[in-house]
C-alpha cells in the first residue's frame, strides 16, 4: 500500500437537535439547519467513509482495509480487532439538547447487537455561554430510584450538569448516562458502534409528529448507577509537546498545540488519526504532503513510520489504538 496521509469525505447526518455550526464554524461543505453530525472516519457497516485524495481516492475505508490489512491497520490492531475498524471519529453540533442516553459495554453489545460497546471521549471546540453537558448521576442511585424518577418524568433531577468551555475534555465510559447540551460543538472519539439506548427525550416529537423511540428496558441492565468522578480529563496543554489527554483500552488521545514544525515517529503497528481543532497544518508522509485545517481529519496508515508536521499555528488531537 502506498503511504500517504488519507483524507476521507465526511458523512453528514441530519438530526432533530442539529444546527449550522458544522458549516459556519468548521466551514464544512454542507447545507441545512439541522445537520448534527459529521462522521469523519468510519468503518460502520453501511456508513464507511470514502477516501477523497491520492491514488486510492474513491475507495471506502473497508475496501482499503481489505487491500492491505496490516499496512493500513497495523499488526497490533489486527491482533485485537481483526479487520473491523475499531473507532469512529465525529464532529457533533448540538443546537438543542440531545436525548438523555447511554451505551452498553462490549459484552452486552456483542450479545445483543453483534457490535462493539461504546466508550467515548469529547473535546469541546465551541460552546455558547451557559452550555452544559449531562454526565452521570449527581449521587449514587438505586435501580428502583432511577425507575421511579423515569416513570415520574423527573429523571433530569437525578443527573449531574457540567458547565463547559472550549478545550475541555471528557471521558464517557460505557454505561454512564449522559447528554450533550444545546450550544455545544465538539469532537467525539469513540468505539466503532452506533448502539445507543435513549431513555429520556423531553417528550419531543420528530418531523412527523411522533415521539422518538425510547429503549428504557434495554437500558436497565446497561446503566452504571454509581456516581463516579472519572469523566473530567485534566491534561497538560504545553506548547510544542505531545500531551496525553486520554488513555483507555479502546483509544489513546493526545493534544498538540504547535506554533512551529514537529517531527513524529511511529513503530508501525497501528494507524494514527489527526483531528485539527484550530489553525492549519500540512502533514507530509512518504512523498506526499496534505494540507488540512480546523474541522478536518487525516489518517496515517500503520505502515507510516515518520511524519513531518508543518505549521505556524494549530491545535491537533492525535488518536491511536
Determine how many CB atoms are found less than 10 A away from the CB of residue 235: 16
The answer to whether the Cα torsion of 140, 143, 144, 146 is positive or negative is: positive
Based on the residue annotation, tell me whether 198 is a catalytic residue of this protein.
Answer: yes
All 3 cell numbers of residue 314?
A: 494549530
**DSSP track, 249-302:** SS-EEEEEEESS-EEEE--SSS-EEEEEEEEEEEEEETTEEEEEETT-EEEE-T
Query: Of the residues 95, 198, 254, 264, which is catalytic?
Result: 198
Cα 290 to Cα 54, 272, 285, 300: the distances in Å are 10, 15, 9, 11
E strands in the chain: 8-9, 11-19, 35-41, 50-51, 87-94, 100-102, 120-127, 132-137, 159-163, 169-172, 178-180, 184-191, 197-200, 243-247, 252-258, 262-265, 272-285, 288-293, 297-300, 306-320
Q: Is 130 exposed, middle or buried (0-12, 13-18, 19+ CB in 10 A)?
A: exposed
Taking alpha carbons only, the member of 271, 275, 90, 113 closest to residue 190 is 90
The catalytic site residues sit at: 198
Amino acid at each position: 500500500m502506498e503511504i500517504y496521509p488519507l483524507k476521507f469525505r465526511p458523512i453528514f447526518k441530519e438530526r432533530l437537535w442539529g444546527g449550522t455550526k458544522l458549516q459556519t464554524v468548521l466551514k464544512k461543505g454542507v447545507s441545512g439547519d439541522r445537520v448534527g453530525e459529521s462522521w469523519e472516519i468510519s468503518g460502520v457497516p453501511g456508513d464507511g467513509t470514502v477516501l477523497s485524495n491520492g491514488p486510492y481516492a474513491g475507495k471506502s475505508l473497508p475496501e482499503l482495509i481489505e487491500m492491505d490489512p496490516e499496512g493500513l491497520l497495523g499488526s497490533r490492531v489486527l491482533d485485537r480487532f481483526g479487520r473491523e475498524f475499531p473507532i469512529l471519529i465525529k464532529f457533533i453540533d448540538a443546537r438543542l439538547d440531545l436525548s438523555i442516553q447511554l451505551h452498553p459495554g462490549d459484552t452486552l453489545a456483542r450479545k445483543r447487537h453483534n457490535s462493539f460497546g461504546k466508550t467515548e471521549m469529547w473535546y469541546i471546540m465551541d460552546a455558547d455561554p451557559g452550555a452544559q453537558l449531562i454526565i452521570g448521576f449527581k449521587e449514587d442511585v438505586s435501580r428502583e430510584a432511577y425507575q421511579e424518577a423515569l416513570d415520574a418524568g423527573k429523571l433530569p433531577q437525578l443527573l449531574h450538569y457540567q458547565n463547559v468551555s472550549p478545550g475541555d475534555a471528557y471521558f464517557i465510559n460505557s454505561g454512564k448516562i449522559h447528554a450533550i447540551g444545546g450550544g455545544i460543538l465538539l469532537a467525539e472519539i469513540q468505539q466503532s458502534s452506533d448502539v445507543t439506548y435513549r431513555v429520556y427525550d423531553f417528550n419531543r416529537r420528530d418531523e412527523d409528529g411522533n415521539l422518538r423511540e425510547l429503549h428504557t428496558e434495554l437500558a436497565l441492565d446497561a446503566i452504571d448507577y454509581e456516581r463516579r468522578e472519572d469523566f473530567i480529563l485534566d491534561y497538560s496543554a504545553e506548547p510544542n509537546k505531545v500531551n496525553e489527554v486520554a488513555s483507555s483500552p479502546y483509544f489513546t488521545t493526545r493534544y498538540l498545540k504547535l506554533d512551529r514544525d514537529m517531527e513524529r515517529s511511529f513503530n508501525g503497528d497501528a494507524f494514527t488519526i489527526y483531528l485539527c481543532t484550530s489553525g492549519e497544518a500540512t502533514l507530509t508522509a512518504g512523498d506526499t504532503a496534505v494540507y488540512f485545517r480546523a474541522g478536518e481529519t487525516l489518517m496515517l496508515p500503520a505502515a507510516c513510520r515518520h511524519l513531518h508536521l508543518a505549521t505556524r499555528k494549530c491545535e491537533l488531537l492525535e488518536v491511536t489504538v
